[in-house]
Structure 1
Amino acid sequence: MQTNTLKAHSQNQWLQSYYYIRAAVSVIWIALAIFTGRHNPVIGAVLLVLYPAWDALANYLDASKSGGLAVNPPQRFNFIVSLIVAAAIIWALTVSMNATIKVFGVWAIFSGVLQLSASIRRWKHSSGQWAMILSGAQSALADLFMFKQASGDMALDVTTVAPYAAFGVFYFLISAITLTIKNGRKNRVAC
């Protein structure tokens, strides 16, 4: 029993750091999109490719702290899908920004469903998962909004994705803060 408690505590400590890192990277991405990518299409395009590439790397890192990709099917699939989407975005950028946003939107569905699945799997052993479950559901629903925008004739750019990224920041911070509070309580009790 002691080993399971230590393992859960270690996992919660990792997730706390991981969620803060995810939030910080997203804030940087949003700032770059708004202040640079909007005005420079090349930087905007690079940012659109980097978003799913970073998600793939983040899923890989998270899975490696939780037994590896082999024992975490949602993260393994999200890792693979995110890499494929980064490549698909490169292709879509040669077609149009609307096509790019549609690809990003389809990825939002898969990414959200896989995040939802990973969070549900962690529910019993890790704290702060309710926000990640909401984030996964919201991510899946974001596709509808992105498709609507991409199907219209409004001018789109990298900032079209910024609200989606901002919701991610919100949910990652809620989870990180929840874990910070719970981990702090557990540390005080252990002393």
Structure 2
Amino acid sequence: MSTNTQSSRTPLADNPRSSLLKLYLGRGILAVAWAAAFSVNHDPLDAPAIILLAVYPLIDAVSSLIDYRAVTNESQRRVTLFNGVLSTLIAITLGVAGANGAQAVLHVFGAWAVISGVAQIVVGIRRRSPELGTQWPMLLAGGLSILAGIGHNTQALADQPKLGILVLYTTAGGVFFIIQAGLLARRARLARTQIA
């Protein structure tokens, strides 16, 4: 009887982990790919660079939409929805800021990094559970995002600000998502081993 109960609960337990694993892995790979593309297309700040700038927050917005549909916890859904709407607005704002130069871009990107970093920490804290783990890569990434956002705004005050700093920021963010996906995959393997 207890064996049947365990096996019937296992797929339900794996669903949030599995969907998050795919989401984090895809989000991480896209961030690293974006960083590679932007590293060779940001100087000068022309139309292709501005398009890339607008695309990055749209990746986040789509990820938030996917996450929103998968999450059942209302408080997590509210934060996820907020992050998706914010990222969409930032995409539009970056398109406009790009026409005004690197300083404007860094200010917008910096403000977004701070706000989304706080949101990421909130979601990471609320997702801490035996099934999903401690979420330390997401918590660490959120904290570093806040610091990076402050750094972007500081860099924007320089005489000749450089957008190359965004490559490091987005690469690091992508790596943290990939690490979190790896930890979720490891936790899923351990859970399957224990059941077997």
Q: Give your verdict on TM over 0.5.
A: yes
| 1:64 Cα offset (Å) | 0.9
Q: Deviations over 1:52-110 (max 9, x none)?
A: 11111111111111139886111011011111111111221222221111101000011
Is 1:152 paired with 2:158?
A: yes
Supply the distance in 1 between the matched residues of 2:139 and 2:70 (Cα, whole angstroms). 20
Counterparts in 2 of 1:166-181, with a 5 A limit? 166-181=171-186
In the alignment, which residue of structure 2 is the partner of 1:8?
Answer: 13
Q: Deviations over 1:129-159 (max 9, x none)?
A: 11101111111111111111111012423x3
In the alignment, which residue of structure 2 is the partner of 1:31?
Answer: 36
Q: CA RMSD in A?
A: 2.2
Share of identical aligned residues, percent? 27
TM-score, normalised via structure 2 length: 0.87
Aligned residues: 190
Counterparts in 2 of 1:16-27, with a 5 A limit? 16-27=21-32
Supply the distance in 1 between the matched residues of 2:146 and 2:161 (Cα, whole angstroms). 23
In the alignment, which residue of structure 2 is the partner of 1:44?
Answer: 49
Supply the distance in 2 between the matched residues of 1:4 and 1:109 (Cα, whole angstroms). 38
Structure number with higher helix proportion:
1
Structure 1 regions of 5+ residues with no counterpart? none
Is 1:117 paired with 2:118?
A: no
Larger Rg: 2
In the alignment, which residue of structure 2 is the partner of 1:55?
Answer: 60
Is 1:97 paired with 2:67?
A: no
Alignment check: 8 A CA contact 2:27 2:59 kept = no
Amino acid at match of 1:129: Q
In the alignment, which residue of structure 1 is the partner of 2:193?
Answer: 188
2:133 to 120, 124, 127: 127
Supply the distance in 2 between the matched residues of 1:20 and 1:29 (Cα, whole angstroms). 14
Supply the distance in 2 between the matched residues of 1:180 and 1:64 (Cα, whole angstroms). 21
Question: SS of 1:182's equivalent?
Answer: helix
Alignment check: 8 A CA contact 1:12 1:183 kept = yes
| 1:121 Cα offset (Å) | 1.1
Counterparts in 2 of 1:138-149, with a 5 A limit? 138-149=144-155
Structure 2 regions of 5+ residues with no counterpart? none
In the alignment, which residue of structure 2 is the partner of 1:80?
Answer: 85
Supply the distance in 2 between the matched residues of 1:32 and 1:68 (Cα, whole angstroms). 36
| 1:36 Cα offset (Å) | 3.3
